[in-house]
Amino acid sequence: MWLALAVNRSTAYQPGAGVPEDEFEEFDSPETVAAIADTIRGFGHRVEVLEADRSFPSALAAGKFDFVFNVSEGLAGRSRESQVPAVCDMLGIPFSGSDAVTMGITLDKDLARRAVAGAGASASRNAGGGADAAGTTGGMVRVAPGRVFRNPDRIDLSGLTFPIFAKPNSEGSSKGIRNSSRITSEAEAKTRIAGLIREYRGPVLVEEFLPGCECTIGVLGNSRPRVLGIMEIAPKKVALADFVYSLETKRDYLNQVEYHVPPRLPAQTIAAIENTVLAAYERLGCRDFARIDVRLDGANVPHFLEANPLPGLSPVKGDLVILAKCAGMEYRELIGRILDLAFIRTGLASKPQFSGAFA
């Protein structure tokens, strides 16, 4: 088949004046793009890399592409991750991964919280009459109590219990996430939240800080989504209750964290995490694959943090890739299974190359 690989390469753009230093953190390195393209070529397909910029719609329309493998984060705006899926749908070309609606909802962390938790999302601590040990009650996914702030001059933190955590509402790839995002006092909170609203030019989501174990979970599938693996991210140098998987931590991950697959958690908590992420995957309408972040509260109940329907696929530092490897799935198989799922979902293939497990 003839595939377009839709990308935004970090080397293709120059940051303008006055933008945050992590402006292009989401974009892929040339090495990652080459690894994905070479792996897909290894399955016998012809692959053309298309930069997902203004040239993308006409380049896609001009080619005779059967399929788009989408890893594009999009250029700008809250719906940037929806741009490639929307263009593909407009041109009638099937593509890998989630559609424009799911991309749009998941890039807005508060909308995603509402979608997964349903009514009472912003006060879920007490919603539904209390969660069972599985973290879900009647399929309820729990989120930390939280609130969105849009105006730097109107920050009312009443009702939230410190420590709290402040993050840009519509960013990913750790943009705006620093160790200092965990905030212990009201004075610090006001300065930090106002600063984030101005720097990232958008709303800031504030949640109560979840002090328990942090996990990132890979999910693959469509008709029967399944957990590929659960990876515990444990701090090496600070106490868990102070730990933030921040940009500075990720940039120095070899020294700062250790990964455990499976996580060092009781079977009951692992089952609760699986229930939480599978319910979130379904409610968000994710397709083919996603990586979902979860953190436990002080009572070890899993809470949904966010879903990444476009998880990084760097063969070296992509969290999904690392966890797949720890779960026994090499890079080639991971990419091949994503292709299998997408081809079968869109009718381009009738049976998978890799047998069993994920459908």
Ligand X SMILES: Nc1ncnc2c1ncn2[C@@H]1O[C@H](COP(=O)(O)OP(=O)(O)OP(=O)(O)O)[C@@H](O)[C@H]1O
Contact stretch for ligand X (CB under 6 A) within 79-87, 131-139, 171-179, 321-329: 171-179
| 228 CB neighbour count, 10 Å cutoff | 24
* C-alpha to C-alpha distance for 203 and 330, rounded to whole angstroms: 38
209 binds ligand X (CB under 6 A): yes
Contact stretch for ligand X (CB under 6 A) within 66-74, 170-178, 189-197, 263-271: 170-178
Distances 194 to 202, 205, 245 between C-alpha atoms, Å: 10, 11, 22
Residue list 17-76, contact with ligand X (CB under 6 A): none
219 binds ligand X (CB under 6 A): no
One-character DSSP codes across 43-94: TT-EEEEEE-STTHHHHHHHS--SEEEE----SSSTTGGGHHHHHHHHHT--
> Tokens 């989408």 label which residue?
70
Q: Which amino acid, one-letter code, is at 78?
A: R
Judged by CB, which is closer to ligand X: 231, or 278?
231
167 binds ligand X (CB under 6 A): yes
Say how far residue 84 (Cα) sits from the centre of its chain: 17
Residue from 273, 320, 319, 266 nearest 294 by CA: 273
Judged by CB, which is closer to ligand X: 128, or 211?
211
Contact stretch for Mg ion (CB under 5 A) within 23-31, 181-189, 287-295, 345-353: 287-295
Supply the minimum distance, in Å, between the C-beta of residue 319 and Mg ion: 8
Supply the minimum distance, in Å, between the C-beta of residue 325 and ligand X: 18
245 binds ligand X (CB under 6 A): yes
Partner from ligand X, Mg ion, none contacting 177, C-beta within 5 to 8 A by type: ligand X
Supply the minimum distance, in Å, between the C-beta of residue 144 and Mg ion: 14
Contact stretch for ligand X (CB under 6 A) within 261-269, 272-280, 302-310, 347-355: 302-310
Supply the minimum distance, in Å, between the C-beta of residue 240 and ligand X: 10
* C-alpha to C-alpha distance for 237 and 233, rounded to whole angstroms: 12
| 51 CB neighbour count, 10 Å cutoff | 17
Judged by CB, which is closer to ligand X: 275, or 308?
308
293 binds Mg ion (CB under 5 A): yes
Contact stretch for ligand X (CB under 6 A) within 6-14, 93-101, 202-210, 258-266: 202-210
User: By rule CB under 5 A, what count of residues binds Mg ion?
Assistant: 1
| 106 CB neighbour count, 10 Å cutoff | 27
E strand segments, the chain = 2-7, 46-51, 67-70, 146-149, 164-168, 182-183, 204-208, 214-220, 226-235, 257-260, 289-296, 302-308
* C-alpha to C-alpha distance for 194 and 9, rounded to whole angstroms: 31
174 binds ligand X (CB under 6 A): yes
Judged by CB, which is closer to ligand X: 70, or 308?
308
Q: List interacting residues with ligand X (CB under 6 A).
A: 109, 144, 165, 167, 172-175, 177, 207, 209-210, 214, 244-245, 293, 295, 305-306, 308
Q: List interacting residues with Mg ion (CB under 5 A).
A: 293
